[in-house]
Amino acid sequence: MNERSERGVTAGLAGRLGRAAAISLLAGTVGGAAVLAGEAFVARHRRYAQPELGLALRATIGRAGAPPLRLVLLGDSSALGVGVDRLDDTIGGQLANLLAEGPTGRRVHLSSVGVSGSRSTDLATQVARALLGERPDVALILIGANDATGLRRPSDASAYLGAAVHRLREARVEVVVGTCPDLGAVRAIAPPLRQVVGWSGRRMARAQTTAVLDAGGSVVDLATETGPVFRADAGTLCHDGFHPSADGYRVWAHALLPAIAAAATVATRR
């Protein structure tokens, strides 16, 4: 075979291999997209825990005569304690009990204006509700999971969060934000979609951190602080595999407590 013929054969082989590789890549991409779409459909149509309508959203916890603390929760289903059916098991109830039993022995006036399914765009209405009547001392915002699972732009979602924090700070309310939790730990979403929403959640949390600090709030990185526990222990999630269980809210409460206690101390000194 002469040199020209060899070059022709080599070029032809390279072309066939290139076309085969392109077809394989396309098939893999289409197949992967189909898998993700199917998993998204299943995730959307799962039966998830719903808010307990009989669960009190306002309570006073702690001994009479103890220094008072008005604590309000804003955000999504986690601010309501979706996944549990007792006030003491919600994130607010667990935090209030920890503050009441702690060294300062607070009498916590707890309330929540959170709405299940909320995204960061819904915070403006919740802030207005939180500021009605007697001003809270500390606001805890739990938001971001629905923004992340909906693949919203982190910059857009965090801008709404930053605006909410700014309004609360202007009203002289101390603000703590628990950023988007580790969505890579949820069992309700199957891999590889779980990895995709986990990635989206990490991006959301980073953008949230910047926006909250710029607005004068405090941040607790729930994914970093509690994600490993949720990944290791399925019992931290309730029956739907998405919302926290009583144990999961307890893990969050202990992660949030130092920042909430510090904010309460600052509020008391005003």
Q: Give the model confidence (pLDDT) of 125-152 as tens digits.
A: 999 999 998 999 999 999 999 999 998 9
pLDDT over 70 at 33, yes or no: no
In this structure, the answer to whether residues 117 and 179 fall within a common structural domain is yes
The verdict on 13 and 65 lying in the same domain is no
Which residue segment(s) compose the domain that 35 sits in?
A: 1-45
Three-state DSSP state, 165: helix
Residues 150 and 34 in one domain: no
Q: Are residues 116 and 200 in the same domain?
A: yes
76: in domain: yes
Amino acid at 101: E
The reply to whether 170 and 70 lie within a common domain is yes
pLDDT tens digits for range 49-71 = 787 766 667 899 999 999 999 99
Q: How far is CA 258 from CA 95, 185, 218, 254, in A?
A: 10, 24, 11, 8
Is 62 found in the same domain as 41?
no
pLDDT one-digit tens code per residue, 185-221: 999 988 988 999 999 999 999 999 999 999 999 999 9
Give catalytic status of residue 247 as yes or no.
no
Average pLDDT over residues 170-180: 98
Active site residue 243: yes
Is 3 inside a domain boundary?
yes
Instruction: Tell me what pLDDT residue 267 has.
Output: 93
> Does 210 map to a domain?
yes
Number of domains in the chain: 2
Residue 191 domain flag: yes
Q: Identify whether residues 113 and 5 lie together within a single domain.
A: no
In angstroms, the CA 246 to CA 248 distance is 5
| Nearest residue to 86 via CA among 105, 108, 67, 59 | 59
Q: What is the CATH number of the domain that holds 169?
A: 3.40.50.1110
Taking the model in full, what pTM does it have? 0.84
Residue 85 in any domain: the answer is: yes
Does one domain contain both 27 and 101? no
Which residue of the set 85, 240, 247, 254 is catalytic?
240
240 catalytic per annotation: yes
Q: 83 and 19: one domain?
A: no
Domain identity same for 1 and 101:
no
How high does pLDDT run on average in the chain? 85
DSSP symbol at 109? E
| SS3 state of residue 216 | coil
99 lies in some domain: yes
**What are residue 75's DSSP bridge partners?**
142
Q: Do 163 and 68 share a domain, yes or no? A: yes
Distances (CA, A) of 215 to 157, 160, 166, 204, 210: 14, 11, 5, 16, 9
Catalytic, out of 77, 78, 112, 158 = 77
In a domain, 50, yes or no: no
53 in any annotated domain:
no
DSSP string, 48-90: -----TTS-SEEEES-TTSPEEEEEEEESHHHHTTT-SSGGGS
Q: What does the radius of gyration of the chain's CA atoms come to, in whole angstroms?
A: 24
The active-site residue, picked from 111, 120, 147, 243, is 243
Least confident of 27-31, 171-175, 193-197: 27-31
Same domain, 240 and 128: yes
Question: What is d(CA 252, CA 223) in angstroms, rounded to the nearest whole number?
Answer: 10
